[in-house]
């Protein structure tokens, strides 16, 4: 006997949750609790993707229970060795956590706010049960995202988080649909990155090497705003200068329009990536990834700024994206 299964009309990126306030509008895709688009008065603030598209890489997703890479996917915690799946096989690393392709459930749906939740179930390499709740909220100051982890298990669990938006300094919705980009967008934008230290990495696998002053690597020194040019960046930065506890990264186009990302001391690190994809002109250097992080790459091994969630404990961090 043959049965007929009803076709699932859900877009490939999951359920589409649209929120708006003032001139801001955002669409959150339920797969990976991903920021699919964010606009201010019809100007893109992040590189968007289509609803019925398999999300390109980690664009806009929520990173948990670790951001960035765990070298070789191996780490020791509580005296036990763990081996994670190598989700960046070309470099042999475990990349960006375990929830980027998970379906989040709705907890709150309002006109200007959504709260989504998923549970990391105990599994090979991460035998801990952690609930992850993320809130997206729009107000007159832009889009605020917060991520809260709650340890539902009986054992302490290692934890880290961050977002993965690709910021856009100046590009309208109509320009995106009607014209074809002739040159890498990132090159012409001006970056202000108030970080005095950079984590150097190996050129082949991007494994951490050492934290060094940006004064020793002037190509990555953007403490004074300047054009990005053709420099390649895929590095974590720290030593952040803050105003009233807030760090601010700004990205501006030649006409002065732009976007800013801000966060507090709960994220002492930020990963910056120029989205280099040579040979793929439609996505090569199309936006600048700005990823505030609670811990640096490979924190499960180094222990640097690693959050240890005790049973029943919770941890929150957040960041904001706004037009400038």
pLDDT digits (tens, 9 = 90+) for 264-318: 999 999 999 999 988 888 889 999 999 999 999 999 999 999 999 999 999 999 9
Residue 65, preceding peptide bond in cis (omega within 30° of 0): yes
Look at residue 184 in the predicted model and tell me its pLDDT: 75
pTM to 2 decimal places: 0.94
| Residue with token string 């984590």 | 199
CA distance 305 to 300: 9
Predicted confidence band at 171 (pLDDT cuts at 50, 70, 90)?
Answer: low
CA-wise closest residue to 32 among 153, 109, 112, 120: 120
Chain-centroid distance, C-alpha 237: 14
Quick: pLDDT tens for 140-156: 999 999 999 999 999 99
Chain-centroid distance, C-alpha 249: 14
Predicted confidence band at 234 (pLDDT cuts at 50, 70, 90)?
Answer: very high
Burial class (CB in 10 A: 0-12, 13-18, 19+), 116: buried
Q: Is the pLDDT of residue 174 over 90?
A: no
CA distance 124 to 102: 16
The predicted model gives 98-120 an average pLDDT of: 98
CA distance 266 to 157: 18
Q: Is the pLDDT of residue 230 over 90?
A: yes
In order, the DSSP letters of 203-231 are TTT--EEEEEEGGG-GGG--SS-EE-TT-
CA-wise closest residue to 156 among 124, 132, 131, 130: 130
Q: Is the pLDDT of residue 85 over 50?
A: yes
Look at residue 183 in the predicted model and tell me its pLDDT: 58
Mean pLDDT, the chain, as a whole number?
94
CB-hemisphere CA count at 13 Å for 78?
12
Is the separation of the CB atoms in 222 and 191 below 8 Å? Answer: yes
The one-character DSSP state at 240 is E
The predicted model gives 8-24 an average pLDDT of: 96
More confident residue, 4 or 229: 229
Look at residue 280 in the predicted model and tell me its pLDDT: 84
Helix (H, G, I), strand (E, B) or coil at 15: coil
More confident residue, 3 or 74: 74
């Amino acid at each position: 006997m043959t049965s007929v299964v009803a076709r699932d009309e859900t877009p490939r990126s999951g359920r589409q949750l649209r929120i708006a306030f003032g001139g801001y509008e955002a669409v959150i895709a339920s797969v990976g609790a991903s920021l699919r688009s964010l606009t201010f008065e019809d100007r893109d603030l992040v590189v968007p993707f289509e609803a019925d598209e398999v999300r390109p890489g980690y664009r806009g997703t929520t990173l948990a229970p670790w951001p960035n890479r765990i070298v070789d996917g191996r780490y020791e915690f509580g005296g036990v060795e763990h081996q994670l799946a190598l989700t960046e096989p070309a470099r042999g690393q475990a990349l960006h956590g375990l929830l980027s392709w998970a379906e989040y459930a709705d907890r709150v749906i309002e006109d200007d706010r959504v709260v989504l939740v998923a549970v990391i179930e105990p599994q090979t390499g991460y035998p801990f049960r952690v609930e992850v709740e993320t809130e997206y909220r729009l107000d007159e100051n832009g889009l605020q995202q917060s991520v809260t982890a709650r340890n539902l298990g009986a054992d302490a669990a290692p934890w880290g988080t961050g977002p993965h938006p690709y910021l856009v300094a100046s590009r309208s919705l109509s320009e995106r649909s009607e014209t074809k980009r002739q040159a890498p967008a990132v090159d012409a934008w001006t970056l202000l990155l108030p970080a005095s230290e950079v984590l150097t990495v190996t050129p082949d696998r991007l494994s951490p090497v050492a934290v060094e002053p940006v004064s020793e690597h002037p190509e990555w020194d953007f403490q004074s705003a300047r054009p990005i040019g053709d420099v390649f960046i895929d590095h974590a930065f720290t030593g952040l200068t803050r105003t009233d506890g807030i760090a601010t990264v700004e990205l501006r186009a030649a006409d002065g329009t732009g976007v800013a990302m801000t966060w507090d001391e709960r994220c002492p690190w930020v990963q910056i990536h120029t989205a280099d994809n040579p040979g793929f002109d439609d996505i090569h250097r199309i936006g600048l990834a700005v990823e505030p992080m609670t811990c640096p790459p490979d924190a499960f091994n180094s222990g640097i700024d690693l959050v240890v969630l005790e049973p029943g404990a919770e941890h929150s961090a957040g960041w904001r994206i706004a037009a400038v």
